[in-house]
Amino acid sequence: MDSGFCLVSSPNHQEVVQSRFFDPSWLQMQPHVPMSFVWPKECLVNANEEFHAPMVDLGGFLRGDDDDATNRAVRLVRKACSSHGFFQVINHGVDPLLIGEAYDQMDAFFKLPIRRKVSVKKTLGSVWGYSGAHADRFSSKLPWKETLSFPFHDNNELEPPVVTSFFNDTLGGDFEQAGVVFQKYCETMKQLGIKLLELLAISLGVDKLHYNYLFEEGCSVMRCNYYPSCQQPSLALGTGPHCDPTSLTILHQDQVGGLDVFADNTWQTVPPRPDALVINIGDTFMALSNGRYKSCLHRAVVNKYKERRSLAFFLCPKEDKVVSAPEDIVRRDGTKQYPDFTWSRLLEFTQKYYRADEATLQNFTKWLLSSKQQTL
């Protein structure tokens, strides 16, 4: 096997030898979870009930011809985001054939030999590329998954488009079609994300277009997630409990299931629905709402018998634009909950100094204020 991050079997099948990557085909055959992948018991509490997440029909809102439908959507979104930051959408306008094509291209990548996948591995401090269990950054509580992450920038002057370029430059002609498919997928997600921002703005009582300027020419993150089967799913997690540091996450999960949300002080599982997209509020939008809307605490569990896949699009502001809650909301609330910051600073914090969890925004705020004091 290549030098690099690999896991190799030991006599008792429980020790992990780390260099730079691991081979998931080896990992999923192990009868015992390596210690680097074992999570604390408090993170592994079972989700014993289904989460009845609000199902928001976007049809009337997207058409712009049904005020009643829009008002219903606004009420559902406001209630969900004020309590747990999670809802699902249907009639969202995304072609199911496009979603299917994205899964096909993702499958083709993750079925490559590990040597080929590692050739596009993330470099230190970078968001883009292949990662096996994030083992390039961490040595314990590793997530039982592989990811492929790449940028999306909606600058129409870029030629060729950024997603197409990523696949051509890193994987070559074999994945030219993947670049085409994911470029279209990301364009569709960005368009939907902007419409969701408008719905959120209405629900917060500010101008419908208030947030849009922050995201013009922003660089968003597209991530393909592959969770191998696991012989001891009660010890491992596909993704540990965390809140996304980004603004909004638009996710499609396959039919295996495994997404859990923490709501009403308990973990609850989100049943897959093929025609629905999962939406969750991230830390950046929590700050943009002055804390009114909650960043969603969630995790991914693994399955003993089946692999699982998901497609996640993380909507991000332009890196240098100031993230600040609307003055109207701050005035109504009576206090400003978070200092102004840029997305580039929060991204730097999570990539260099902090592993995202349920307290990322609070700890980032402390770090930011401390950094400012040191420069005075």
Q: Report the C-alpha gap between 81 and 60 in whole angstroms.
A: 20
Superfamily the domain 39-370 falls into: B-lactam Antibiotic, Isopenicillin N Synthase; Chain (2.60.120.330)
Minimum mean pLDDT range among 8-17, 74-83, 89-98, 243-252 = 8-17
Q: Report the C-alpha gap between 149 and 127 in whole angstroms.
A: 7
Residue in 78, 299, 308, 309 annotated catalytic: 308
Residue 308 a catalytic site member: yes
Minimum mean pLDDT range among 2-16, 112-126, 179-193, 236-250 = 2-16
Q: Report the C-alpha gap between 63 and 77 in whole angstroms.
A: 18
Question: Is residue 134 pLDDT above 90, yes or no?
Answer: no
What pLDDT was estimated at residue 328? 95
Residue range 210-242, pLDDT digits in tens: 999 999 989 999 999 999 999 999 999 999 999
Torsion angle defined by CA atoms of residues 140, 142, 147 and 152, in that order, rounded to the nearest 10 degrees: -60
Identify the bridge partners of residue 330 per DSSP, sorted by sequence position.
none
**Is this model's pTM higher than 0.85 or not?**
yes
Within 10 angstroms of residue 15's Cβ, the number of other Cβ atoms is 14
Question: Is residue 375 pLDDT above 60, yes or no?
Answer: no
What pLDDT was estimated at residue 268? 96
Within 10 angstroms of residue 216's Cβ, the number of other Cβ atoms is 12
Question: Is residue 145 pLDDT above 90, yes or no?
Answer: yes
Residue range 57-76, pLDDT digits in tens: 999 999 988 899 999 999 99
Q: What share of the chain is helix, strand, coil (3-state, %, to 5)?
A: 35, 20, 45
What pLDDT was estimated at residue 15? 34
pLDDT band at 12 (very low <50, low <70, confident <90, very high): very low
Question: Is residue 165 pLDDT above 70, yes or no?
Answer: yes
pLDDT, average across residues 175-185: 95
Cβ atoms of residues 16 and 35 within 8 Å: yes
